[in-house]
Amino acid sequence: MPTAADNAIIANNGTYTVTVPANSPATASTLAVGGVSGTQTLAIDKTTLTLGISKAVLSVTADPITKTYGAVDPALTFVVVGLKFSDTPASVLTGLPTRVGGETVAGGPYTITQGTLTPNGNYTISFTGNTLTITKAAPSVTADAKTKT
């Protein structure tokens, strides 16, 4: 458990207790909370400081996707806002968004959902979906070689 003299760095959500020695000059104003994500609360009870760090919210928005009829689905991409510190989407998210099934122009557009996209324990997700649209394929006509006598 860190003490007031440790200059501890806490980077994960949860509740932490810091013991302040009785002869320490540390007070609520000298015990700083800086650089932590989410909501921080400080409560001092005599010589104990309790620090609670809540999960940060990631805003994840699916990109609109278009493909041509008959083509393989492109990757379902998204934009992430709200990352903390040096976190990246690859370091905090696992899984992939998915789309509603269907392969026709007339049946679309098809909704893109959160699917299995899941954050690590320091974040929650606020997901905004989008759509995959299938456009008509250009017809291809090739004439057979014929001869007339």
User: What pLDDT score does 8 carry?
Assistant: 54
Q: What is the pLDDT of residues 35-87, one digit of tens each?
A: 544 555 555 555 666 677 899 999 999 999 999 999 999 999 999 999 999 99
Residue 139 has pLDDT above 50, yes or no: yes
Residue 1 has pLDDT above 70, yes or no: no
pTM above 0.85, yes or no: no
Give the pLDDT mean for 11-34.
Answer: 58
10, 8, 9, 43: which is closest to 28 by C-alpha? 43
Domain ranges of the chain: 14-54, 57-135
Q: Tokens 């809540």 belong to which residue?
A: 54
Greater model confidence, 92 or 48: 92
How far apart (Å, rounded) are the C-alpha atoms in residues 131 and 147?
A: 50
How far apart (Å, rounded) are the C-alpha atoms in residues 131 and 65?
A: 6
Strands (E), 12-71: 14-19, 40-45, 48-53, 56-62, 65-68
